[in-house]
Chain A
Amino acid sequence: MSGSPAAIECSGLGRDYGKVRALDTLDLTVARGALVGLLGPNGAGKTTAMLLAGTLLAPSRGWARIFGHDVARERRAVRRRLGLLFQDTSVDPLLTVEENLLFAGRLAGLGGRLARAAVADAIERAGLRDRARQPGRALSGGWRRLVDIARATLHYPDLLILDEPTVGLDPEHRERVWTLLNRQRRELGTTVLFSTHYLTEAEPADRVVLLSRGRVVADDVPDALRSSLGDEIAEIEGPGAERLARAIRGLGAARTVLRIGGGFRVGLTGPREPVIELAGSAPGIDQLTLRRPSLEDVYFAKTQDGAGYP
């Protein structure tokens, strides 16, 4: 297993649209079986990175390999190993769920009985049995997304590339989607690269890659990313928030200081008592909350301009 190539390997991968640099450079290695979250603001280059890995875009620079196959030169070999989910749903409104999946199976190269068996299995796994005969146009957005996921996983791909798999879904359907994906990973060892704006969805990931303006600004396991901000986050609100943030930094207890809206988020290092004492005597503080750092803190710290250091 150690000699087998990584699920995704890319170096200096980039893509321009005319003069716009959508993805500047991406260096990434994803181990087989890993769950990797690709985060970043709109326009950070997430979709471009996924389309490049999915062979739907040609790189302007650099290279990428999927299970050892070059995405530019061995597209067919790459596509055989891939399951792709786009941001927009790809369900034909005139075909039933079953027909949509059968169509996808045939596109993936499955023929005859093999395709029918794969469709029946996908319908069971995705909990679509009651909707199998319904036309695509009769499905709600949530069920359509589940059909999309069933379609992407139908041919048992080794790598799933999912562009915002749960966008626009209610919590119940989001749960269904993740249950389905986790089962896929557990039973088949599928590697999953996904993008999301719901940062809590990235918490269970083996690794999180943060993109901003086409570049990787953070890449680590979620715990390491969170602890890079400090042991705790102090959320400070009120007119005296900036003064207190400066004072905490003066104490040498601040690892990161971030301006969010009208307040500050300070990543604390070392014991919390001196900070609490300082805050107790500081004027103009409406609220001080201490909590564990989250991926949302990492997101803001790494993707905001200047990060608001006073």
Chain B
Amino acid sequence: MSAASAIYGIVVRDLVRTTRQTSRLLGGLARPFMWLLLVGTGYNAIARLEGGLSYQAYIYPGIIVMAALFGGMLTAIATVYDREFGMLRLMLASPAGTVAVLAGRALAATLVGAAQGAVVLLFAPLVLPISSREFVAALGALVLAAGMSGMLGLMVAARLRSVENFAGVINVVLFPLLFVSGALYPTTGMPPALRALARVNPVTYAVDLMRQAVGQRGEFGTVMDVAALLAAALIAFGVAAVLFDPEQRFIRARPRPLSP
């Protein structure tokens, strides 16, 4: 009961905070459309893709994932604000425990990421033909992508000590994950080293799954994509759980103290 109520409390708080940070929210929603307009339109003229697909239509699944990735990860990484302003200690001191606290944050990040991605998905019919069945499949892919992003964000936040590192995270973590994922260009044409990186990049599988959901050709198959995303999410969550509570790990590693 205490874990469920703590998770609910954390989710509600994060959603309220998200809606009150108007500039961050609008920025998060505008970012994918700017990429579609500025990058997509520019490359439309020079990119030649099989099946006569426009470049904007090709990157649209990747841009949906990008919205979920940024929304989910940045919401989770906001944990670093909580650490700096004392809210994290308050949460970690609750009877619910570290795993419940992280689960709450992950769930909130998933909801925010999925909502931001869903806004982009809503506009998909303007660029690529999409059936209602594909739309539902894309929503499923979106939730998986946002969930994985949220848990990756928690893992990154576990080692961040200051909000000043926030911009660095976007440049060093988010953009490389996006660029080496097949969101903007196919991984099949990449040099071997980058292609190997793309293979271990969980965002690659989110883009691939989204691509298949909207009826484009994928590289790995749905089962592989879903499995890779679930595995990445679980590993990231496990690592975050250990890193967030070094004291607990410490206690477990030590022999039990003697008490009467």
A272 cross-chain contacts in B, Cβ below 8 A: none
Kindly identify which residue among B5, B9, B21 contacts A94, using a CB–CB cutoff of 8 Å: B21
Most buried by A among B20, B248, B251: B251
Cα–Cα, bound, A73→B92 (Å): 16
Binary CB contact string for chain B from 234 to 260 against chain A (1 if under 8 A, 0 otherwise): 000000000000011011001011110
Interface size range of chain B in the complex: 35 or more
Closest to A61 in B: B257
B251 cross-chain contacts in A, Cβ below 8 A: 58, 72-73
In the complex with contacts A57-B247, A72-B257, A107-B6, A86-B95 CB distance below 8 A: no
B6 to chain A, nearest CB (A): 5
Cα–Cα, bound, A72→B247 (Å): 10
Closest to B253 in A: A58
Kindly identify which residue among A54, A62, A84, A110 contacts B257, using a CB–CB cutoff of 8 Å: A62
B122 within 8 A of A: no
Q: Tell whether, in the assembled complex, residue B93 and residue A84 are in contact, meaning their CB atoms are under 8 Å apart.
A: yes
B8 within 8 A of A: yes
B165 within 8 A of A: no
A290 to chain B, nearest CB (A): 46
Interface size range of chain A in the complex: 35 or more
For chain A, residues 92 to 133, give those with C-beta under 8 angstroms from any C-beta of chain B. Answer: 92-95, 99, 102-111, 115
Q: Tell whether, in the assembled complex, residue B5 and residue A115 are in contact, meaning their CB atoms are under 8 Å apart.
A: yes
B97 within 8 A of A: yes
B1 cross-chain contacts in A, Cβ below 8 A: 109, 111
Cα–Cα, bound, A75→B92 (Å): 11
Most buried by B among A56, A59, A106: A106
B169 within 8 A of A: no
**9-residue interface stretch from B59-67, B83-91, B105-113:** B83-91
A26 to chain B, nearest CB (A): 14
Cα–Cα, bound, A92→B91 (Å): 12
Q: Tell whether, in the assembled complex, residue A103 and residue B9 are in contact, meaning their CB atoms are under 8 Å apart.
A: yes
A89 within 8 A of B: yes
Q: Tell whether, in the assembled complex, residue A55 and residue B93 are in contact, meaning their CB atoms are under 8 Å apart.
A: yes
Q: Tell whether, in the assembled complex, residue A65 and residue B93 are in contact, meaning their CB atoms are under 8 Å apart.
A: no
Kindly identify which residue among B5, B12, B21, B257 contacts A63, using a CB–CB cutoff of 8 Å: B257
Closest to B11 in A: A106
In the complex with contacts A107-B91, A107-B96, A65-B259 CB distance below 8 A: yes
Report B's interface with A, CB cutoff 8 A: 1-2, 4-6, 8-10, 12-13, 16-17, 20-21, 85-87, 89-97, 247-248, 250-251, 254, 256-259
A11-B259, A75-B97, A107-B10 given; name 7 further pairs at CB < 8 Å. A65-B259, A88-B85, A89-B86, A90-B87, A102-B9, A106-B8, A107-B91
Interchain residue pairs A-B with the least CB separation, the first 6? A106-B9, A109-B2, A63-B259, A107-B94, A90-B86, A79-B95
